[in-house]
Amino acid sequence: MGPAPETLINLTVSDLLLPDRNEWDIAKIHQILPFEEQRILAIKPSLTGAPDKLSWLSTDTGEYSTKTGYAAVLSSRSTEAGEARATAERSTFDWRKNVWKLQTTPKIKLFIWKTLHGAIPTGEALRSRGINVDGLCKRCKLPESIDHLLFQCSYARQVWTSAPVYPSIEYSGSIELRSSWPDLCSKKTLPPTGVSIGALAPWIVWQLWLARNKLVFEDKIITIEEVLSKAVASAREWITSQDHLTQPTRLIAPPTMLQADYVLLRTDAAWNESLNLAGLGWMTKRQGRESSFSSIAQHVATPLAAEGLALREALLKCRDMGLSKIRCESDSAILIKAINANSPLVGLYGILADINSIASSFDSISFNWISRERNGKADGLAKNVLSSELAVMAAPNTV
């Protein structure tokens, strides 16, 4: 961007906020830092005046450690150093964490172990063993290696880039299984898939293999949508079976019992990644009466930030309504855990500080996790307001 003009040399963050309001001055940001506008607006300042705090962006909590500092230094080195690190990672691959401890079926764990050892019968593997096959991918006619089949074929690329995970999978270069696998398994599955634990990557890899075999042996084409749908359905079915085995009473939990003077507050959010737009929904219930609320939030960088904004807006509304005793419920386990443990989260410092500050204005308040199935009304409110906003944005301008 070049050197700063003399008039802006002493500019501080507070100069980019509106006077007497903890909100960004969009016009000034657009004038001074237009290339950073979206990143700045995605930072949600505290509405209650929480003090500034330094956060280390390389951890979820914002806390610095020598381990994460060392990792950050390594990642910023030259390409040659990066290649050397990748080689070291391959030699110290954590098989227990990246294979045997995955939240998936034993059959899929064994399959992943075989793929990581190059031991599944792709075209190139068969040819290397002297079997008379052409060794080409049946979809694109390129050599069928394991990496090609699972990541580099245009079919596989479309599957991965369409997967409902966060952060989304982007192909800045070729993906190699061994080096990319830990990162793929660290990605969170987005709602409303119902995949609440574990990674979606093992299920996708397995469905890509099944789709390949259907094409090779039955000449049957499985669409990209079917691959993802089957991966999500299989993961959800397995998770449900684990719940039945380990927590038999979870699915038949009794409804929340409230004291007569308490208000039940349930919140949820729906998030559009491409537009960084979030629909916020919440409902209150007291003495048998329900009230519904919703709003739109712009420049929201993550689904977790959207969940936090929904709870903050709901608490502000409850305070304005003069409510004094509240039981808050959300299906975001990460958010509820952070609030109850008073634990920081990178990107949510201002939002969490506001939630804690607003909470202190009530006579009694609690924060509780509930399953997504029990949060259907708030979820519907959030999705409806987001869909309505997207429809308005997509509608042609009329005179």
pLDDT for residue 251 is more than 70: no
Distance CA 20, CA 219 (A): 67
Average the pLDDT over 218-235 and give the result.
Answer: 95
Who wins on pLDDT, 113 or 396?
A: 113
**Could you read off the pLDDT of 124-169 as tens digits, one per residue?**
999 988 899 999 999 999 999 999 999 999 999 999 999 999 888 8
- State residue 79's pLDDT score: 41
What is the helix (H) or strand (E) element at residue 222, kind and residue range?
none
Tell me the pLDDT band of 252, cut-offs 50, 70 and 90: very low
- Mean pLDDT of all residues in 260-265: 87
Residues 222 and 107 in one domain: yes
Task: Please state, in angstroms and rounded to a whole number, the distance separating the CA atoms of residues 146 and 216.
Answer: 15
3-class state of residue 312 by DSSP? helix
Q: What's 74's DSSP letter?
A: H
Rounded mean pLDDT, 40-58: 83
- Residue 319 and residue 363 in one domain: yes
> At CA 169, angle to CA 167 and CA 173, rounded to 5?
130
- Residue 370 to residue 335: CA distance in whole angstroms: 12
Q: Which of 19-33, 85-99, 217-231 has the lowest mean pLDDT?
A: 85-99
Determine, yes or no, domain membership for 49. no
Helix (H, G, I), strand (E, B) or coil at 230: helix
pLDDT of residue 28: 87
Mean pLDDT of 231-256: 68
Beta strands 289-297 and 325-330: pairing type?
unpaired
- Mean pLDDT along residues 105-125: 94
Residue 62 within any structural domain of the chain: no
Q: What confidence tier does 258 reach under pLDDT thresholds 50, 70, 90?
A: low
Is beta strand 325-330 parallel, antiparallel or unpaired with respect to 263-272? parallel
Query: pLDDT tens across 310-328, in order?
Result: 999 999 999 999 999 999 9
Work out the burial of residue 314: count CB atoms within 10 Å of its CB; fewer than 13 is exposed, 13-18 middle, 19 or more buried.
Answer: buried
- Say which residue, 111 or 176, is predicted with more confidence: 111
Is 234 part of any domain?
yes
Segment 185-190 shows an average pLDDT of 91
Residue 250 scores a pLDDT above 50: no
Same-domain status, 275 and 152: no
pLDDT above 70: residue 192: yes
Asked, for residue 227, whether it belongs to a domain, the answer is: yes
- Of 245, 349, 264, 272, whose CA–CA distance to 314 is shortest? 264
The DSSP code sequence of 173-211 is S---HHHHHHHHHHSEEPTTS---SS-SHHHHHHHHHHH
Do residue 226 and residue 340 come from a single domain? Answer: no
Let me know whether 201 and 84 are in one domain: yes
User: Does one domain contain both 96 and 17?
Assistant: no
User: What is the domain-level CATH number for residue 389?
Assistant: 3.30.420.10
**pLDDT of 56-95, one tens digit each?**
877 777 788 887 787 777 666 544 444 554 454 445 788 9
Query: What's the pLDDT at 176?
Result: 82
* For range 41-68, the mean pLDDT: 81
Q: What is the percent of the chain with per-residue pLDDT over 70, rounded to a whole number?
A: 88
**Domain co-membership, 207 together with 271:** no
Are 366 and 292 in the same domain?
yes
Do 92 and 216 fall within a single domain?
A: yes
Q: What pLDDT is attached to residue 283? A: 96
- Residue range(s) defining the domain that contains residue 294: 263-394
Average pLDDT over residues 9-17: 84
Alpha carbons 385 and 271: distance in angstroms, whole number = 11
Across 362-368, average pLDDT: 95
Residue 302 is assigned to a structural domain of this protein? yes
Same structural domain, 37 and 125 = no
Q: Do the domain assignments include residue 228?
A: yes
Together in a domain, 218 and 344: no
pLDDT value of residue 249: 42
228/94 same-domain check: yes
Residue 293 in domain: yes
Report the domain count for the chain: 3
Could you say which DSSP state residue 395 is in? S
Residue 69 lies in a domain: no
Residues 272-321 have pLDDT tens digits of 988 999 999 999 998 888 999 999 999 999 999 999 999 999 999 999 99
pLDDT for position 44: 87
pLDDT of residue 162: 93
Interval 192-215 mean pLDDT: 92
CB < 8 Å & 24+ apart, contacts of 183-187: 185/98, 185/102
